[in-house]
Structure 1
């Protein structure tokens, strides 16, 4: 008896080819999602050979979007964003504006309508969080100041794009498209927009008042049963049902619903477990999403309109990058930060695909526009790893040859020098602490409680500003540069304390410090046991490793308790 096997064909060939090309991409040190997109291109109606059902692929892509947005919600950290808000918030918004205007300008020169040009420009303005996290993780930059700024920048971009996904359907008719709900004219467009914003506000209020309490409560109740599959099912059900409920009850996009579902789950005490146990499912559906996006791509655009493709790639990789770097330098961050943020944004990804698909369904974007966006994504993601590799040589080249670059980085920067109110008497026998993360914060608090003089050297300018507001002596800059330690008056310091950081940077900082002050004592917080052992062998300072110190403290506490119990026990 014949039966329909379209779904099985799609999954079998989609996953099989995604595995092959994802593996090849990874071997070439490229993000695997390039392989997933290529797998989709191979089984698409636009290429010869196997053709999978594109309607089924679109439905699976909807699920993929839900789980992608759920993942974005689970990774969204307000604290991370607040740490870099002064650069990430204005920087991301201005960069989105520049990239969108470039996209609008170029596409209107091609004769496109304003509505199409707007969707096109917005699609080119938002970088891929998936690609960025992979690139930063591979280079060990995720927890660096530069990494935090880049991630914070993309968090702002994600929030802006979530807002765009909400507003675009409501304004589609006004922009010359077609509403997904009504097909009337644009007489009631402002009423539609007002109602949309009201519904969104209602949904957000519901999630913050009810969802924030109810979902963690249900997760806690299920977790007590000790069933792993029921717990995973609870999280998946929360993601899908909240996304669908947001669409059905409040009339907002399923993407927004899934994003808030992720944020609500993150509030639970079981957020780490939820993230870990749903990761395989989220990754499976995100792979299907990228495969389905590849199925929509027509590769003929590469040789039929090469000049249009080049213009798109130039906007993504040159226009956006230069705008971002200029903004970072304007906020007086060093060239290294500007290059890292610029490289991070020199690609587009999942939000671009989601926006392009939405634009197509609203009759705002043509197939040509979608193909150009997909071509731009494929090329920019492929080249992104090479751009990251070029950061260090480019930085060295600029610093060797450009006095202007050195001027831009340091000249006239009030945070690069200690304020006048820090007296010369204070800058004698002080403790210089490099890095004001969790370790640095605790050491600073303890020392200041004992009236011990402290000077902080920190890369994050916002942290330096906050410290100065509290009356704590702090200087902004990268401590591997002699000027930063000179400004911290390392030559008169009693002690240098280094927070956990890369071992190469530790060597550079200690070398500078001991050149300027041969008598200085150095204390180093190591990130791992292996690193602690290496530093001890090299004898460059006293080393402390968190787990080792915790074990010592606990052992001493246990021995003290046993000794107390022994003295209190009645003698026979």
Structure 2
């Protein structure tokens, strides 16, 4: 016990020192966790090998994280946005795997080993992606949803791959039909069990348990580990079990309380996972540097390009394609599991392969960390090179960009939709520009003049016809996107009235200084309007009740748009 506390103190000390350095040099925190693990492994080579408990604690972090992911994957949302994203994820894995198979064969590995290398190099880490996007508060953005959706699709694919490998192993022993039959029964049984529990058992239990927040938390943890252990016992892995445990609670009205209370536990345990990952970097043994370089090219360059091409086929704009491609760079934790499984089965003969794959994986995480943190700046810095990024831009779009409009509205979110209805009553001609395909499809069905485009796509902005346009309104959350619109369109027509949106005072001041004519600040506007209302109504309850009826009617009218209710969480 004393040895554990000593080891744990050393680990936390290294983490705190690394985080202090990251804070000092303004670097991503995840780099600090990995650096701490590398330092410990270098200074104390036997530290982690003697402390198996750290491996188990990191596994707990992965389980908690995937459980929380599952609580956010309600069947209704998955049904609406899942099919194309899942298809993109599967096609990306297949495309990257073909390239990875070629690289493995070129470097002299046999066919089966090359197949393992191919699959490992094609996967992205859901854990790292969620950590980085969560730190940036970008999980609810279009590119954030695409990144997580593709990554989760890859996780499901790799679980199927593992099952296929197990089946092939059984086939060699002449037991193929028996094993395949048992596998199908397991899948059907687990699927039926999760469905029945989520529909009939869990709603009744959580309704009674929710009266005590402490009981609800403990029940959620227990349910998570019961389902994860069941999946593990049946050969599907604790990770996929934790994911489905969360999915079974995704439709619960208490899922937000469950996720928020488990977040602290998840954050603590996941730190140990990244520290342990950093300890896998080894500077000893025979390492083929050319293979490491080829693997990095596959993961850091080719995989994002394939992702961007596929997202272009789905109709997404250049910026979202670029940001999602960068976010999907980090190699998956399943990649390490796959290679370890191949070595345990005797398929992979070269013991240095696990070290080389680990180095490729950790370098990809480091590159992705910086790339994701500074992704908007990177896209902006590309400038004229943006035209080489795959993105949807059709002839019909060019034709519509040539039509004059009184007002061009960027972003049809909560604020944008309200402004549109106001200007529509004034009989102004309005063009709506939004980067979300589902919103554009919805607006088309409503007969609203709209375009699928991105405010940071310089090529797109240059094509806009400003003849007759008097006002530009940007309700986009990203100030850099607003500045891009301001720079390009104001240069083309200096007398434009430009209105933008900001959440923070420093952003509003910066936008005013850059040339924006009016900055909408929803929080302050709400407070000002309330003050005006209180001054007008005084303490007259009849006036409040009359205003209440109008407000309820207005809110009901807005809530009729169920699609926007799901998609416009910005």
Same fold (TM over 0.5): yes
Q: CA deviation at 1:271?
A: 2.8
Given that 2:319 and 2:456 are in contact with CA atoms closer than 8 Å, whether structure 1 keeps it comes out as no
Structure 1 residues 495-534: aligned runs within 5 Å = 495-510=471-486, 521-532=497-508
- Within the candidate set 305, 310, 320, 1:322 is matched to 305
What's the counterpart of residue 293 of structure 2?
A: 310
CA contact 1:491–1:513 (8 Å) conserved in 2: no
Q: Output the CA distance in 1 between the equivalents of 2:425 and 2:259.
A: 39
Q: Does 1:131 align with 2:128?
A: yes
8 Å CA contact 2:167, 2:180 repeated in 1: no
Number of the residue aligned with 1:300: 284
1:162 has 2:143 as partner: no
1:560 aligns with 2:530: no
Q: CA deviation at 1:435?
A: 0.9
User: Corresponding residue for 1:468?
Assistant: 444
Q: 1:24 to 1:412 in 2, by over 3 A?
A: same
1:223 alignment partner, one of 200, 210, 214: 210
Structure 1 alignment gaps of length 5 or more: none
Distance (Å, rounded) in 1 between the aligned partners of 2:231 and 2:427: 55
- Aligned equivalent of 1:549, options 518, 525, 528: 525
For residue 228 of structure 2, the aligned residue among 229, 243, 247 is 243
> In 1, are the aligned partners of 2:431 and 2:450 still within 8 Å (CA)?
yes
**Partner residue of 1:67 out of 64, 69, 72:** 64
For 1:27-176, list aligned pairs within 5 A.
27=24, 30-37=27-34, 39-40=36-37, 48=45, 50=47, 52-53=49-50, 55-76=52-73, 88-133=85-130, 135-136=132-133, 148-149=142-143, 151-169=145-163, 171-174=165-168, 176=169
Question: Are 1:188 and 2:175 an aligned pair?
Answer: yes
- Whether contact under 8 Å (2:453, 2:460) holds in the other structure is yes
Secondary structure (helix, strand or coil) at the match of 1:491 reads: coil
Does the Cα contact within 8 Å between 2:317 and 2:393 map onto a contact in 1?
no
Verify the 8 A CA contact 2:86 2:149 in the aligned structure 1: no
Say if 2:307 is the partner of 1:345. Answer: no
Deviation at 1:434, TM superposition (A): 1.0
- Per the alignment, in what secondary structure is the counterpart of residue 496 of structure 1? strand
Equivalent residue, structure 2, for 1:283: 267
Number of residue pairs the alignment of both structures matches:
542
Structure 1 residues 115 and 65: alpha-carbon distance in aligned structure 2, compared to 1, 3 A threshold: farther
How far does residue 260 in structure 1 lie from its aligned partner after superposition? 1.6
Task: Using the TM superposition, give the Cα deviation of residue 554 of structure 1 relative to its aligned residue in structure 2, in angstroms.
Answer: 4.5
The offset of 1:499, in angstroms, is 1.0
- 1:367-397 deviation line (CA, Å, top 9, x unaligned): 4332222111122222334556588568656
Q: Does 1:263 align with 2:263?
A: no
With normalisation by structure 2, the TM-score equals 0.78
Query: Would you say the 8 A contact 2:37–2:274 is kept in 1?
Result: yes
Question: Given the alignment, which residue of 347, 362, 379 partners 1:378?
Answer: 362
- Structure 1 pair 116/158, CA: closer, same or farther in 2 (3 Å)? farther
For the 8 Å contact 1:10–1:52, the answer to whether it is kept is no
Aligned with 1:207 (options 189, 194, 203): 194
Report 1:453-492 matches (<5 A). Answer: 453-479=429-455, 484=460, 489-492=465-468
Shift of 1:313: 1.8
In the other structure, the counterpart of 2:238 is 254
Report the Cα offset of residue 160 of structure 1.
Answer: 2.7
Instruction: Give the Cα–Cα distance (whole angstroms) in 1 for the partners of residues 497 and 363 of structure 2.
Output: 51
Q: Which of 385, 396, 410 is matched with 1:414 structurally?
A: 396
**Cα distance in 1 for residues equivalent to 2:63 and 2:458:** 49
1:125 CA drift (Å): 1.3
